[in-house]
């Protein structure tokens, strides 16, 4: 199964008089980057939570938000931290005395400064068990990751179906290019003979062997058999990758680069209007595939 890199999951658990809400969001990223935002006093749990995410998600930027609020029925009170308030006021006085800074520190401004007002810890929170808290947060995060992965899997299935349809379109273009390739030299030979005949006014005689040499040089220069063979091989590898239950995003990106290289070479060699038109259409389709494949893990 192929996963998209875009998803969302959430969960909620109860602990120590608090309701803990956990949200997980993921978007495209080249590697697996985990960003955690949780209360500072729970920072010790961060490493375990990060490892849990990395064990279940292989690629993408994953943002984890852990928020807590007083559970229903629990009273929430605030307490003034006098030492923090005095420190802020002393700093304001020092700025005025030493640097001539004008202005006053209003009460509303002081109350909004970090650390001046603190939430009173409940009886339960004063008895926090670090191991129990870690286990509970991991349980909640695991549940949120289940939702995230379900969404990523659902979107991944739709992406794969779209890529398979686009691959079939590429193969149709390829079949037409394979059909046209042998006619390029013969059409060039016909046009060359026709042009020489039109120019023949009796003042010169064109040698059939020279015509043959010219056609042979053109045939060698415009031959695209090798490019078509490699392109078909890339198509087969692409289809096989989409059937794998693995992280395939980077592999698809590499294959698409190789496909583009072969198509560009065909375009530079093909001295044929219909072939060039197919090359342009194939390049446009490859760009659409690249944009879609960039969403896969």
pTM over 0.75? The answer is no
Share of the chain above pLDDT 90, in %: 46
Q: What pLDDT does 201 receive? A: 64
DSSP 8-class letter at 120: P
Task: Give the domain ranges of the chain.
Answer: 7-73+123-152, 78-119, 155-293
Provide mean pLDDT across the span 124-133: 70
Task: Say yes or no to pLDDT of 215 above 70.
Answer: no
Cβ of 9: how many Cβ atoms within 10 Å? Answer: 22
d(CA 70, CA 274): 70
Give me the percent of the chain exceeding a pLDDT of 70. Answer: 84
Q: Which runs of consecutive H residues, i.e. helices, occur in 79-129?
A: 82-99, 107-112
Residue that the structure tokens 């989409």 belong to? 242
The kind and range of the H/E element at 153 are helix 130-199
pLDDT value at 196 more than 90: no
Which residue do the tokens 């299935």 mark?
157
Higher-confidence position of 67 and 79: 67
Tokens of 4: 């998209």
Structure tokens at 115: 């650390």
Average pLDDT, whole number, for the chain?
Answer: 85
**If one looks up domain 7-73+123-152 in CATH, what number appears?**
3.30.230
pLDDT tens digits for 234-289? 999 999 988 887 788 889 999 999 999 999 999 888 777 888 899 999 999 999 99
């Amino acid at each position: 199964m192929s996963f998209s890199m875009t998803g969302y999951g959430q969960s909620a658990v109860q602990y120590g008089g608090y309701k803990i809400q956990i949200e997980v969001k993921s978007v495209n990223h080249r590697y697996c980057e985990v960003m955690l935002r949780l209360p500072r006093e729970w920072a010790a749990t961060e490493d375990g939570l990060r490892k849990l995410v990395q064990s279940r998600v292989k690629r993408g930027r994953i943002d984890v938000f852990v928020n807590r609020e007083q559970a229903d029925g629990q009273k929430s009170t605030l307490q003034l931290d006098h030492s923090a308030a005095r420190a802020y006021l002393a700093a304001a006085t020092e700025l005025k005395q030493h640097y001539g800074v004008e202005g006053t520190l209003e009460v509303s401004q002081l109350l909004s400064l970090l650390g001046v007002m603190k939430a009173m810890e409940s009886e339960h929170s004063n008895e926090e068990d670090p191991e129990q808290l870690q286990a509970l947060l991991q349980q909640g995060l695991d549940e949120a990751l289940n939702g995230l992965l379900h969404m990523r899997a659902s979107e991944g299935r739709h992406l794969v179906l779209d890529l398979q349809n686009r691959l079939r379109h590429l193969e149709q273009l390829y079949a037409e290019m394979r059909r046209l390739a042998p006619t390029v030299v013969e059409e060039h030979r016909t046009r060359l003979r026709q042009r020489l005949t039109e120019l023949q006014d009796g003042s010169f005689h064109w040698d059939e062997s020279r015509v043959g040499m010219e056609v042979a040089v053109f045939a060698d220069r415009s031959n695209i058999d090798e490019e078509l063979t490699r392109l078909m091989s890339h198509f087969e590898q692409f289809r096989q990758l989409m059937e794998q239950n693995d992280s395939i995003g980077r592999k698809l990106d590499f294959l698409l680069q190789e496909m583009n290289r072969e198509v560009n070479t065909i375009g530079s060699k093909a001295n044929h209007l219909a072939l060039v038109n197919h090359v342009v259409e194939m390049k446009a389709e490859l760009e659409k595939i690249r944009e879609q494949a960039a969403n896969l893990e």
